[in-house]
Each structure stands twice: as structure tokens, then as C-alpha cells.
A and B are shown apart, each in its own frame.
Chain A
Amino acid sequence: GAGVSQSPSNKVTEKGKDVELRCDPISGHTALYWYRQSLGQGLEFLIYFQGNSAPDKSGLPSDRFSAERTGGSVSTLTIQRTQQEDSAVYLCASSLGLGITSSGETQYFGPGTRLLVL
């Protein structure tokens, strides 16, 4: 079947604007993850969903960041009042959802959304 898809692939916005990033996980995957990758850096975990619930939101960088998931499928990451330091690639991944504390789950990543805040 299809892999994880993300939209838009690229987004350029002005400082202070709100942006919405979308992730479509693999069908049947109940776990969904958001990561941020700044230029030349590793992956920074942001938030994890099991179904529609996010057990821990403390990875979100600030209260300008929020995420939701509906119907156990599509997820949206929203960044309000964007700042230049928000510029990064935002990656989404999904997995079967057997248990977050075990990395026995294989995560399948989308291509990412490249966000540039001017």
C-alpha cells in the first residue's frame, strides 16, 4: 500500500503567520509521530499519538505548537505565530502501534515538510 505522505512538501511563510502541516499515515497504523529536523541536525521528537490521543505533549517546543489527530488517521501539526527559528524539516512517521516504550516498532517516515519562515 501507500507509504506515509505529508503535505505540503515545501512551505514558505512570513514571520508571525500560522502554518498547518498535514500527515497521512499508513493505513492501519495506530501510532503516529512528529519530529523536527533542523539543518544538519538529528531528529527532535515532538509528539506521539496512539489513536487520537497524545499521552505526552511535553516535546512540543512551545505553546505555539499544537497537534491533533482525528479518526485515528490524519494528523495536523499547527504552528502559530511562526518564528524564524521554526524553520526546519518536519517529519511524520507511523507504526503499527504496539507500544511506545519498546522500539520493536518499525517507524515508517514520510518525506517531510520543509518549512522556511522569512
Chain B
Amino acid sequence: LAKTTQPISMDSYEGQEVNITCSHNNIATNDYITWYQQFPSQGPRFIIQGYKTKVTNEVASLFIPADRKSSTLSLPRVSLSDTAVYYCLVGYPNDYKLSFGAGTTVTVRA
């Protein structure tokens, strides 16, 4: 079973930028990288998706280097409501078991 690796937890303060890096050494050529956000007692929710270089939407940015062996989710100017668990998802060849990382618990403090 292929796996991704991301930090277990990160602390931040309101207004700061939070960057979470996910390692995925065995990423396949056609695979995308997707990040999900999960609040307590809720299912995960899609945040952003990318293939290479940089992707930005109204919520976050995703930076992917040329070798695509890692990716960084960037949350600009976080608020208390951004406190959640963030999951990195990458598909691997011949592997039906999609690999969710263990998740990074981001805690934003006032």
C-alpha cells in the first residue's frame, strides 16, 4: 500500500500563513494531488487539487515542485475557523486503495 507522509500537527495564530507539506515519493505520472479538510463530526471536504506548479483558489494555494514528489498546501491569513485536520490524497498506479495521509491537525489560536 503506497503512502503519503505529512506532519502530525501544526500550531498557528490568527492572521498567519500556514504551510503543510506532504511527501509522496511514488506518485504516478497521471496522478493528481488533492487536499481535503475535516472538521470534528463531519466528513472531509475538498479544498484544492493540482497536478504540477501552482494552483490557487479562494481558499488556499497548492505548490508542487517539478519532481512532484511533494506538495505544499498554503492557507493564507488563517482564522480560528480554519482549525481542522487536513488530508493529502494522491492516487497510485494499480492501487485501488486511495492513500489518505494520516492528516495534519492544524490549530489556530487567537
Binding site for B on A (CB under 8 A): 4, 33, 35, 41-43, 45, 48, 55-56, 58-59, 91, 93, 100-104, 106-112
Contact = CB atoms under 8 A, between A and B. Distances in A.
Contact of B49 (A55, A106, A111, A112): A106
B46 A106 contact: yes
B11 interface: no
A43 B44 CA distance: 10
B43 A110 contact: yes
A52 B35 CA distance: 27
Interface string B34-48: 101000011111100
Contacts of B51: 104
Contact of A56 (B45, B91, B93, B96): B96
Contact of A103 (B43, B44, B90, B101): B90
B100 A103 contact: no
The A interface is mostly helix, strand or loop, or mixed, namely loop
Nearest to B46: A106
Contacts of B90: 103
B42 A104 contact: no
Contact of B97 (A45, A106, A111): A45
A41 B31 CA distance: 25
B28 interface: yes
A104 B98 contact: no
Given A42-B87, A100-B91, A101-B91, A93 B43 contact: yes
